[in-house]
Amino acid sequence: MLNKTIEKNGKELRYGYTTGSCATAATKAALLMFLNQQKWETIKISTPKGWVLDLVLHDQTFSDHEASCSVVKDSGDDPDVTNGVKVFSKITPSDQDGIAFAAGIGVGTVTSVGLSIPPGEPAINPTPREMITQEINNILDSEAVKQLSNLPKGWRVELSIPQGVELARRTFNPKLGIAGGLSIIGTSGIVEPMSEDALKASLKLELSVLQARGFKEIIFVPGNYGKDFSDELGLDENVLVKTSNFMGFMLDEAERMGFEK
């Protein structure tokens, strides 16, 4: 648990950490278990925000051909559907150079243009990829590991979230063109509770996807009542975006991005 708080509207709200941080910690621990052939109970990682997380590990297994473990996602006081889920990482040696990412059960695959990851790739966002790669390289660059013999040319990192298929239906993922599960996300590694910036970023992402798909006209509604009215009018739900309290912000963004109507 991350015991850092922020005051919002007179309330002390607790920070959490992202699925990207969970995946990074699980991958780092899995690699250490594979290389040392011993069990780890906790693991420390650095985050882009500058905070160091010390996370508890679960489901640790290792052998001479792979290792895996999980970290439980803690969203703090943010209303996040992924709170409490286990994020697993399985690492296996590869005869291919570098680090290859794979989507296990419950982690989605990108199927549409307009996102930061190209179609066909696992829905593991750029920052988590960078975090995982950095932690792997830090381990491999250590003097103790450099002295090991028969190290593989590369590594395969498979991330999974067993509850991800079901939970993804409650997220933007199906509409954004991410199939089969959740995304591994996070730009700072930390979840700020009730963050307006995070909500705005999600809404802007919807616009980016619609723009990349070639749509010139979009429909904004504040929420579910607006969507119901739109449905009654027979309007195209594929170009409908719920803006919540950010209608003005979204109108400005739509104009900036060149939408015509």
More confident residue, 17 or 254: 17
On the question of pLDDT at 1 being above 80, the answer is: no
pLDDT of residue 125: 97
Angstrom distances, CA of residue 60 to CA of 18, 68, 72, 101: 20, 6, 13, 20
* Tens-digit pLDDT profile for residues 45-58: 999 999 999 999 99
Task: Give this prediction's pTM.
Answer: 0.84
Q: For residue 11, list its beta bridge partners.
A: 8
Domains located in the chain, CATH noted: 5-191 (3.30.2110.10), 196-256 (no CATH)
pLDDT tens digits along 109-161: 999 998 999 999 999 999 999 999 999 999 999 998 988 888 999 999 999 99
Share of the chain above pLDDT 90, in %: 61
Q: In this predicted structure, what is the pLDDT of residue 225?
A: 72
Q: Residue 10: which residues within 8 A CB-CB, separation 6 or more? A: none
- What pLDDT sits at residue 48? 97
Predicted pLDDT at 260? 79
